[in-house]
Structure 1
Amino acid sequence: MREALIVWGGWSGHEPQECAKIIEEMLQEDGFKVYVENSTEAFADPSIHDLSLIVPIVTMSKIEKEEVTNLAAAIESGVGIAGYHGGAGDSFRDSVDYQFIIGGQWVAHPGNIINYSVNVTRPDDAVMEGIEDFPYTSEQYYMHVDPSNEVLATTTFTGDHAYWINGVVMPVVWKRHYGKGRVFYSSLGHQAKEFDVPQMKTIFRRGASWAAR
């Protein structure tokens, strides 16, 4: 049986505990044995090297050097990591080691909660199979991203809320590798209710399964 660890915490506005419960149930339905912790101290535990998957849900906050060093070593050795929105893409702002794993870092969401479109760029990928472009209402994440990411979906900024980014095409969903580990990220999922959007939930579910060894 594949084993997964969910670590939640950080800024409460992203409803990390509620989202952790949703993902826990999702992974259990997919055959995982799931462990849930609410402290980054879990990342320092040597036993994480035996996991199939790690799901961080920790917006902002801090990670200690020994925690991120052990996490990075686990991913490099083959443990998968799957995250979404600020729970993974705006975690530990002072840790470039962590950002190197995820492949991106949030820097802005002009206009805050707005209507925008998610455009599927890799319909041939198993994560995106059967999913077409879809409208979305949430924070449209502007991110600094790693050029080695394999981008599966994007969004285009209109410039209505920051005129100088008009027409910028920004990755929304990507896959990458960190050593032997698979990394999956989706910028969708500001709060727990967004898991009610079928495309958002399906993308994360498939991405997590892909990442898990």
Structure 2
Amino acid sequence: MSNKTALIFWGGWQGHEPEACSRIVEEMLANEGFDVRREEGTKVLAETDLDRFDLIVPLVTQVQVEKDELQNLVAAIEGGTGLGGFHGGMADAFRMEPAYQFMTGGQWVAHPGNIIDYRVEIVKPDDPLVAGIGDFDYRSEQYFMHVDPSIEVLATTTFDGAHAPWTRGTVMPVVWKHRYGAARVFYSSLGHVAAEFEVPQMREILRRGLIWAAR
């Protein structure tokens, strides 16, 4: 039986440390038996046989994508290639592309207060992706997102309104999964910089989610 295959494409805004994060994810997937291809930029998406990958992990923030590249990516996912990722590398990759956001299930719009302390609450503790992890405190950007109401939410955070008073009491998805075409799609908003992989809950949720998303 051949190994599962994964593609990681990385780049964009350097504040998210995309290269360092891509190397961590590459090692994580390799440890799970994946054959991993890691590419800078979006040019790899111009290849018309992206459906040969079992999993694609976007790790780019605020970049432009060529029309054919995006079409190839969407077609591969719709056909059954898994999609998984985290933070702005997935949820703020192609800000101008609604077709991409339709696929991911959400789009970043704000992080009031920037780096702050907040709590992540597991709302589906019986789901294998978060089972046994429990609620935990986290220090990072607290992502405020526009989300697809059909996503299956696994973890949330509640805004206290300290930095944007009108958001007080807003319960926001942090981790979710959903289906797009024949594919499984996974997302976690945790992981602003590479050092956050040292938080065991963040790392384990992402590890489980990527494995789950793979075809």
TM-score (norm 2): 0.98
User: Hey, what does 2:185 align to over in structure 1?
Assistant: 183
- Mean Cα deviation higher: 180-189 or 39-48: 39-48
Q: What is the CA distance between 1:91 and its match in structure 2?
A: 1.0
1:196 is aligned to 2:170: no
Q: What is the CA distance between 1:39 and its match in structure 2?
A: 1.6
Instruction: Map 1:158-173 to 2 at 5 A.
Output: 158-173=160-175
Alignment-mate amino acid for residue 37 of structure 1: E
User: Hey, what does 2:146 align to over in structure 1?
Assistant: 144
Matches of 2:163 and 2:66 in 1, distance apart?
36
User: Hey, what does 1:64 align to over in structure 2?
Assistant: 66
User: Hey, what does 1:80 align to over in structure 2?
Assistant: 82
Alpha-carbon displacement from aligned partner over 1:103-138 (angstroms, at most 9, x marks no partner): 100000000000000000011000001110000000
Count, aligned residues = 213
User: Hey, what does 2:95 align to over in structure 1?
Assistant: 93
Q: What is the CA distance between 1:179 and its match in structure 2?
A: 0.1
In structure 1, the residue corresponding to 2:184 is in which secondary structure?
strand
Matches of 2:12 and 2:49 in 1, distance apart?
23
User: Hey, what does 1:131 align to over in structure 2?
Assistant: 133
Alignment-mate amino acid for residue 190 of structure 1: H
Q: What is the CA distance between 1:43 and its match in structure 2?
A: 1.4
In structure 2, the residue corresponding to 1:83 is in which secondary structure?
strand
* Structure 1, unaligned runs of 5 or more: none
Q: What is the CA distance between 1:46 and its match in structure 2?
A: 1.7
Q: What is the CA distance between 1:209 and its match in structure 2?
A: 0.2
Q: What is the CA distance between 1:181 and its match in structure 2?
A: 0.7
Q: What is the CA distance between 1:67 and its match in structure 2?
A: 0.7
Matches of 2:92 and 2:41 in 1, distance apart?
16
User: Hey, what does 1:24 align to over in structure 2?
Assistant: 26
Alpha-carbon displacement from aligned partner over 1:68-103 (angstroms, at most 9, x marks no partner): 111000000000010100000111110111111101
Matches of 2:48 and 2:196 in 1, distance apart?
33
In structure 1, the residue corresponding to 2:49 is in which secondary structure?
helix
Matches of 2:53 and 2:16 in 1, distance apart?
25
Matches of 1:157 and 1:75 in 2, distance apart?
32
User: How high is the sequence identity, in percent, across the aligned residues?
Assistant: 60
Matches of 1:211 and 1:71 in 2, distance apart?
15
Matches of 1:195 and 1:39 in 2, distance apart?
22
TM-score (norm 1): 0.99
Q: What is the CA distance between 1:205 and its match in structure 2?
A: 0.3
Q: What is the CA distance between 1:184 and its match in structure 2?
A: 0.3
The CA RMSD measured in Å over matched residues stands at 0.5
Runs of 4+ off more than 2 Å: none
1:109 is aligned to 2:111: yes
Matches of 2:197 and 2:45 in 1, distance apart?
25
Matches of 2:205 and 2:78 in 1, distance apart?
24
Q: What is the CA distance between 1:41 and its match in structure 2?
A: 1.3
Alpha-carbon displacement from aligned partner over 1:9-55 (angstroms, at most 9, x marks no partner): 00000000000000000000000000000021111212311110000
Matches of 2:97 and 2:200 in 1, distance apart?
33
Matches of 1:167 and 1:36 in 2, distance apart?
40
In structure 2, the residue corresponding to 1:93 is in which secondary structure?
coil
User: Hey, what does 2:156 align to over in structure 1?
Assistant: 154
